[in-house]
Homo-oligomer: A and B are copies of this chain.
Amino acid sequence: MNLTSRTKLRRRPDRGSYDSASIHAILDDGFLAHVGFNMNGQPFVIPTLYGRDPNESKLYLHGSAASRMLRELESGIPACLTVTLVDGIVLARSAFHHSMNYRSVVAFGTARKIEDPAHKAKALQTISEHLMRGRWAEVRGPNDAELKATSVLEFSLEEASAKIRTGPPVDDEKDYDLSVWAGVLPIFTVTGQPVPDPRMNNGHQAPEYISAAFKKRC
């Protein structure tokens, strides 16, 4: 990864890393990004799904061809893409040393619109498989009109940093004697039982890959 003044962590550089493996691991564990861009000097932050091809150092974004965000991004303006996974609340003995355990990636770059329909369909498959492996093969794939109505962008991960905090609280030495419960409250993202569409035939069981989709995140 390139490292410039905008990527280099100023606060808590001990929590930072810039290697691709750390960055990719966080991106592969998440599925929701917050994308920042400017319109007329006003910053916008919009949540969006993404997909990462394991063989490529880029992310795919998609949405309606009418999306304001995608139309702005595809013009090549500077963007920032952030993914944050919260792992726990760090409960210290003092208010001051409370913290979060988390893994986050902040990536800077520009997006490029994918025009070729075959490449577009492949990128949509990557987003789908990133979110839920096995789904793409089962559903009706996009037809020409749907492909046309969908914008797909690639966002190159040339400049990115990861920030990670793990472990127990770190209190001031004199506070360790206080009779305050200290530790970590773990936070997980989990899935419930799949809820069938009321318009589906009764008795159609949800395939195994649906419940398996998020197991790695529990």
Residues of A within 8 A of B (CB): 6, 10-11, 32, 34-39, 41-47, 49, 63-64, 66-68, 78-82, 84, 86, 88-89, 91-96, 98, 100, 102, 104, 106, 108, 124, 128, 131-132, 135-136, 138-143, 146, 149-150, 168-169, 171, 175-176, 178-200, 204-207, 210-211, 213-214
Contacts and interface: CB of A to CB of B under 8 A. Distances in A.
A106 B197 contact: no
9 contacts: A36-B44, A91-B132, A94-B140, A94-B146, A95-B124, A181-B207, A183-B196, A188-B191, A189-B189
A213 to B, nearest CB: 7
A198 B38 CA distance: 46
A184 B199 CA distance: 12
B45 A81 contact: yes
A132 to B, nearest CB: 7
